Structure 1
Amino acid sequence: MLVAFAEEGHAGEINPLLPTLPDLVWGTLAFLIILALFVWKILPNLNKLLDARAEAIEGSINSAEAAQAEAQAALEKYTAQLADARAEAGEIREKARADGSAIVAEMREQATAEAARITSNAHAQIEMERLAALASLRSDVGSLALDLAGGVIGETLSEDAKAQAVVDRFLAELEASEKARS
């Protein structure tokens, strides 16, 4: 139709925009050969390349998802370990407080026992010193009484057993009367 239109308008002129019939046939044949070569050789290779790239992207996505899942699992494990560590630290703190309280109670008990022992020793020492002072006082009072009696009588009384017995009896009666008053 184009050829007929071109021939009708200008019978002798050649239009440079409209190809001739042999150019159209040879151009179409070349286009079909290149198209067949493209579909037969280049398109499968291009599809393989695109498939390989899609697989690589999917593999990267899968590995990223696996890494993310692994990171999430590690985070959960870390969180659990952190919670366990905090609980263990709390238990250790409570045990240390209990141990500290027990140590303080034990030290108070020991201090009380030590104070009681020291008090008991002091009382015993005071009692021994009192008895020693009483014995010393008894002998001093006895000798003073004999000296005083000797001064009253005008004679020296000897320190014999009878005089000592009289002084002891006198002091015992004096102690008995003291105890009766208390």
Structure 2
Amino acid sequence: MLDLLLAAEEGAHAEPTAFFLEPYQWVSVAMVVLIAVFIWKKVPGMITGGLDSKIAAIRAQLDEAKALRAEAEALRNEYQAKIAGAEQDAQAMMDNARREADAILVKAEADSSAMVERRKKMAEDKIAAAEREAIADVRATAVMAATKASRKLIAEKHDAGADKALADEVIAGL
């Protein structure tokens, strides 16, 4: 207590104490109590139990992965055998396709000359149709040009007086 009075007189700050223990000593006591509670509640056992369960789960996953790998290898071997069989089937199909292609080629050569004649006839018919269409286009163009020219001439020669005379003539005809 004397220290507090002397410290107060000198203007220095006095550190608080409880039950005559310094703050660092309270921290030590708290740590000891915490460790004791952990041991009393069997926390290390729970931690190791959790780790053991994780290890068991990982082992189960590894065993499952090994089984999947063995299954995948079996499937790979099965498909390799199927591929070998498929290659033999493909070769047989190729041989059959060659024979069919030769037969089709012979038939195609026979049919090609008839087709050439038909195409030639079709081409001649198309040429004749194109000629008729061209003539019709030329006639239509000539009619359009004549129509435009007659409009222009009528517009130049026809005035309001001619319109009145034409209207009178139409009215008299009715």
TM class by shorter chain equals 0.3 to 0.5
**TM-score, normalised with respect to structure 1:** 0.36
TM-score, structure 2 normalization: 0.37
Q: Which has the larger radius of gyration?
A: 1
* Structure with larger RCO (C-alpha < 8 A, sep 6+): 1
